[in-house]
Amino acid sequence: MEECSEDMQLDIMMPFYGRVDHFREAVESVLEQSDPEWRLVVIDDHYPDVSAGEWLVGLGDPRIEYVRHPANVGINRNFRESVERSSADLVVIFGCDDRMHPDYVARMKHLARAYPDAVMLHPGVRIIDEDGAPARTIVDTAKSFYRPRAHRPVRLAGEELAVSVIRGNWMNFPAVAWRGPELRATGFREGYEVVQDLALVIDLCVAGGSLIVDDLVAFDYRRHAGSVSSWKAADGSRFVEEARYFAHVERRFVDLGWRRAARAARWHLSSRINALTRFAASVRYGDRDGMRTLLRHALGLTGR
CATH number at residue 133: 3.90.550.10
Q: What is the pLDDT of residues 188-218, one digit of tens each?
A: 999 999 999 999 999 999 999 999 999 999 9
Task: Point out the domain boundary residue: 224, 241, 276.
Answer: 224
In a domain, 1, yes or no: no
Q: What confidence score (pLDDT) does residue 84 get?
A: 98
Q: Do 165 and 233 fall within a single domain?
A: no
Q: Do 98 and 77 fall within a single domain?
A: yes
In a domain, 248, yes or no: yes
Residue 90: name the closest of 111, 63, 61, 62 by CA: 111
pLDDT class of 225 with cuts at 50, 70, 90? low
pLDDT class of 262 with cuts at 50, 70, 90? very high
Domain count, the chain: 2
Tell me which range, 34-38, 138-142, 273-277, is most confidently predicted by mean pLDDT.
34-38
Task: Point out the domain boundary residue: 208, 224, 240.
Answer: 224
Long-range contacts of 1-5 (CB under 8 A, 24+ apart): 1/103, 1/106, 1/107, 1/110, 2/110, 2/113, 2/114, 4/35, 4/106, 4/109, 4/110, 4/112, 4/113, 5/113
Q: Do 66 and 206 fall within a single domain?
A: yes
Percent of the chain with pLDDT over 90: 74
Structural domain of residue 168, as residue ranges?
10-224
pLDDT class of 232 with cuts at 50, 70, 90? very low
Task: Point out the domain boundary residue: 224, 248, 267.
Answer: 224
More confidently predicted of 6 and 10: 10
Kindly report whether the global pTM for this prediction surpasses the value 0.75. Answer: yes
Q: What confidence score (pLDDT) does residue 70 get?
A: 98
In a domain, 2, yes or no: no
In our burial notation (b when 16+ CB lie closer than 10 A, e otherwise), range 235-270 reads bbbbbbbbbebbebbbebbeeeebeebbebbbebeb
Residue 88 has pLDDT above 80, yes or no: yes
Q: Do 131 and 22 fall within a single domain?
A: yes
Mean pLDDT of 226-240: 58
Cβ atoms 24, 52 nearer than 8 A: yes
CA–CA dist 176, 129 (Å, integer): 20
Q: What confidence score (pLDDT) does residue 64 get?
A: 98
Q: Do 220 and 280 fall within a single domain?
A: no
Q: Do 272 and 132 fall within a single domain?
A: no
Residue 270 has pLDDT above 80, yes or no: yes
In a domain, 4, yes or no: no
Residue 239 has pLDDT above 90, yes or no: no
In a domain, 303, yes or no: no
Percent of the chain with pLDDT over 70: 90
Q: What confidence score (pLDDT) does residue 6 get?
A: 58
Q: Do 139 and 252 fall within a single domain?
A: no
